[in-house]
């Protein structure tokens, strides 16, 4: 996962949150007087840490709060700087001659945490970081670098979302991440999505394609998340990855998910102004795709049975069976008549009878 700032690529590294289990400001219980504190020594302060994998790693870090770049710096030991220096203020730091920079930046973190916000950490690992950081500070004027100019990202060709304060939706981090992307399409693995959300996806996300549908009007808060960032789910490989495609930047000639659709669906796409590419499949491939589609629909139906059974999948399977029957020279009426004949001969399965054993009387 990455963002681009002035064509420079920054990799997502962590979401920094307050360590609420630690006791803040325990060092304030000592006998230091106000006269012994430097200008930023009064606090309040907070404690936090970043991933251990960032220790002894050099790079240009960008801290983002909400939609604003608030801090840019080239750091030779990112983990040590953020966890040990900024995220763990000590008595020595607050006293005169102490680390004023660490205290000042920590107070910014505390202010963000108090308002319910997390801080996003992105890193550019280029060895040119000592030149990149000053350039970006001049470009974005980050407020935590002791400057007062707040910059948002309402730039040309950049999807923009006004979040309006504290995020409420569980899927807001996904929306936030996608809103930063310049690419037409973005592949995100399930693991990457869960890293963004800092929680596991629900079981239905692993089992049901319908969970990834773009129908936000059915209470799908997850769909609202990626669509408010300008994206739709174009392809889903259950349990593995999702392909998000930007609605307004998509190349009309680009192929997305290849699946069997009806002529009615193509007519609907035309009616809403969509541009698509479709083809009539050769007979062998056509049958192969029908088999694939009914298998996918059956898998979704079986996964949904335990939760909230839906007639939608049964209806879809009936349509596919009709198509297969037609391929074998039997139209809808003939198929229906054949079903009635079979029912008269052998009956149906509505009564839930299960044959358990069969005995030979002789």
Whether the per-residue pLDDT at 263 is higher than 90: the answer is: no
**Mind listing the pLDDT tens digit for each residue in 108-121?**
898 888 888 888 99
295-351 tens-digit pLDDT: 877 777 776 655 555 567 777 888 888 888 888 888 878 888 888 888 888 888 888
Q: Helix-strand-coil percent breakdown of the chain, rounded to 5?
A: 40, 15, 45
Partnered with residue 235 across adjacent β-strands are 243
At 240, list the tokens: 């593995």
Q: Exposed, middle or buried: residue 179 (CB in 10 Å: 0-12, 13-18, 19+)? A: buried
The predicted model gives 270-292 an average pLDDT of 75
Length of the chain: 362
Axis-axis angle for helices 283-305, 311-327 (nearest 10): 160
Instruction: Identify the structural domains of the chain with CATH numbers, from first to last.
Output: 2-145 (3.40.1440), 172-257 (no CATH), 283-344 (no CATH)
CB contact at 8 A, 67 and 163: yes
C-alpha dihedral sign at 54, 126, 73, 56? positive
Contacts for 202 with CB less than 8 Å, ≥ 6 apart: 211
Cα torsion 84, 88, 89, 91: sign: negative
Residues 111-137, mean pLDDT to the nearest whole number: 84
């Amino acid at each position: 996962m990455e963002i681009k700032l002035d064509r420079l690529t920054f990799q997502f590294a962590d979401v920094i949150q307050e360590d609420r289990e630690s006791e803040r400001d325990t060092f304030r219980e000592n006998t230091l007087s106000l006269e012994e504190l430097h200008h930023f020594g009064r606090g309040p302060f907070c404690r936090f840490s970043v991933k251990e994998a960032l220790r002894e790693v050099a790079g240009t870090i960008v801290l983002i709060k909400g939609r604003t770049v608030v801090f840019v710096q080239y750091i030779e030991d990112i983990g040590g700087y953020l966890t040990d220096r900024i995220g763990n203020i000590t008595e020595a730091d607050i006293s005169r001659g102490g680390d004023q920079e660490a205290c000042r930046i920590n107070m910014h973190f505390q202010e963000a945490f108090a308002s319910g916000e997390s801080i996003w950490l992105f890193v550019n690992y280029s060895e040119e970081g000592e030149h990149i950081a000053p350039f970006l500070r001049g470009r974005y004027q980050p407020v935590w670098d002791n400057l007062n100019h707040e910059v948002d990202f309402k730039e040309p060709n950049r999807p923009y979302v006004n979040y309006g304060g504290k995020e409420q939706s569980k899927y807001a981090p996904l929306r936030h991440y996608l809103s930063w992307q310049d690419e037409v399409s973005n592949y995100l693995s399930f693991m990457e999505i869960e890293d963004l959300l800092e929680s596991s996806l629900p079981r239905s996300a692993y089992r049901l394609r319908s969970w990834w549908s773009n129908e936000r009007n059915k209470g799908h808060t997850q769909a609202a998340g990626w669509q408010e960032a300008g994206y739709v789910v174009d392809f889903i490989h259950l349990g593995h990855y999702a392909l998000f495609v930007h609605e307004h930047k998509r190349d009309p000639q680009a192929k997305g998910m290849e699946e069997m659709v009806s002529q009615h669906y193509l007519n609907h796409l035309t009616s809403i102004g969509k541009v698509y590419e479709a083809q009539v499949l050769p007979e062998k491939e056509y049958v192969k795709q029908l088999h694939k589609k009914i298998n996918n629909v059956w898998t979704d139906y079986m996964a949904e049975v335990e939760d909230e059974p839906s007639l939608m999948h049964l209806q879809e399977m009936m349509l596919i069976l009709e198509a297969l029957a037609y391929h074998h020279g039997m139209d809808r009426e003939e198929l229906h008549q054949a079903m009635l004949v079979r029912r008269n001969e052998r009956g149906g399965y509505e009564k839930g009878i299960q044959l358990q054993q069969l005995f030979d009387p002789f």
